[in-house]
A and B are shown apart, each in its own frame.
Chain A
Amino acid sequence: MPSILANKWTKRAVFPICFVPFGILVWKAFTGNLGPNPVETLQHTTGDWTLRFLVLTLCITPLRKLLKLPDLIRFRRMLGLFAFFYACMHFLVYLGPDQNFSLAAMGKDVYKRPFITVGFTAFVLLIPLALTSTAGWIRRLGGRRWQMLHRLIYISAICGVVHYYWLVKSAVLRPLTYGAIVAILLLWRLGDWMIRRGRAIPAVAKTQRASVDG
Chain B
Amino acid sequence: MLLQRKPELTYADVTPKEIYLNRRKFLKAMGIAGAAAFAGKELLDLSAPSQIAYAGVNFPNLVKSPFSTTEPQTSFEAVTHYNNFYEFGVDKDQPAKNAQKFRTSPWTVSVEGEVKTKRKFTMDEILKLAPLEERIYRHRCVEGWSIVVPWIGFSFNTIAKLVQPTEKAKFVAFESYWDLGQMPLARPELAGIEFPYVEGLRLDEAMNPLTLLCVGMYGEALPNQDGAPVRIVIPWKYGFKSIKSIVKIRFVKGEPPTTWNLANSHEYGFYSNVNPNVDHPRWSQATERRLGDIFRHKTLMFNGYQDQVASMYAGMDLRKYY
Contact surface of A with B, Cβ cutoff 8 Å:
35-40, 97-98, 100, 109, 112-115, 166-167, 169-173
Contacts and interface: CB of A to CB of B under 8 A. Distances in A.
B283 A115 contact: yes
Given A38-B294, A39-B294, A100-B296, 19 more contacts: A35-B81, A35-B82, A35-B92, A36-B78, A36-B79, A36-B81, A36-B291, A37-B289, A37-B292, A39-B289, A40-B289, A97-B289, A100-B295, A109-B284, A113-B282, A167-B282, A169-B143, A170-B193, A173-B190
A172 B81 CA distance: 22
Contacts of A35: 81-82, 92-93
Interface of B: 75, 77-79, 81-82, 86, 90, 92-93, 143, 145, 190-193, 263-264, 282-284, 289, 291-292, 294-296
Given A36-B77, A36-B291, A114-B282, A170 B296 contact: no
Contact of A36 (B82, B193, B294, B295): B82
B289 A115 contact: no
20 contacts: A35-B92, A36-B77, A36-B81, A36-B82, A37-B78, A37-B291, A38-B294, A39-B289, A39-B294, A40-B289, A97-B289, A97-B295, A98-B296, A114-B282, A166-B282, A170-B193, A170-B263, A171-B190, A172-B192, A173-B190
Nearest to B74: A36
A166 B233 CA distance: 28
A39, A109, A170 interface centre (most CB from chain B within 10 Å) = A170
Nearest to B267: A169
A37 B83 CA distance: 11
B90 A170 contact: yes
A178 to B, nearest CB: 16
A36, A37, A109, A171 interface centre (most CB from chain B within 10 Å) = A36
A171 B93 CA distance: 15
A129 B92 CA distance: 35
B2 to A, nearest CB: 54
Contacts of A173: 190
A37 B295 contact: no
B145 A37 contact: yes
A111 to B, nearest CB: 12
A166 B92 CA distance: 18
B295 A170 contact: no
Contacts of B193: 170
Nearest to B264: A170
Nearest to A100: B295
Contacts of B82: 35-37
B255 to A, nearest CB: 22
Contacts of A37: 78, 82, 92, 145, 289, 291-292
Contacts of A38: 292, 294
B54 to A, nearest CB: 24
A71 to B, nearest CB: 39
Contacts of A172: 192
A113 B283 CA distance: 6
A176 to B, nearest CB: 11
